[in-house]
Amino acid sequence: MPQFLTGITSNTQHPDEQNIQITDTHRIKKQPTKSTHANIIQLTIATANVLTLYQHNARHETIQQQFHDKNIHIVTLQETRTRTTHYRNSIHYHIFATSSDQGTGGIEVWLHKTLPYLYQLNDEEKYTPTQDTLQPHNTTVVSHSSQHMLIRIDTPHLHIDILIVTGK
């Protein structure tokens, strides 16, 4: 179970189909040092200001599918206008959300459920994906408000803090 500051809730939402542009994407690769068990960590991180996801279930699903199709490991969203702070599952992502403040702000962080981030060097000198994926039991929401979220991902192979901030 994820470590989070509040409980699990769900929202009733209405459809609104719109495409979203990925505003910033970063690919992070950690090159291995020479060893007999070389690994590569590959993470794709994207961020977007969505200007509201509240009461837009179809839009939420469309955005998730777009990020999934681009093999994005971590998605950070600002201005979601989410009503409650919560954790939930979707078809492709674990979602950590902070509530908005009087209709403004709101942050969501999505961790891909099945996309491996760790690759190992095999006997043929090729990198193959492992079973290592981003999971909520390795994730802690360290701090959050309607304008920021700090999460820590701590796995045997990956230790990373991610800070998402939006202005008022």
Tell me: the pLDDT tens digits for 136-161?
Answer: 999 999 999 988 999 999 999 999 99
What the block records as the tokens of 118 is 């760790």
Residue indicated by tokens 């803090």: 161
For residues 19 and 80, give the distance between their C-alpha atoms in angstroms, rounded to a whole number.
15
Q: Beta 74-78 vs 107-112: how paired, if at all?
A: antiparallel
pLDDT band at 19 (very low <50, low <70, confident <90, very high): very low
* Identity of residue 9: T
133, 43 Cβ separation under 8 angstroms: no
Give the pLDDT confidence of 28-58 residue by residue, as tens digits. 555 545 445 678 899 999 998 887 665 556 7
Residue 48 phi/psi, 5-degree rounding, is: -155, 145
According to DSSP, residue 36 is labeled S
pLDDT, position 168? 66
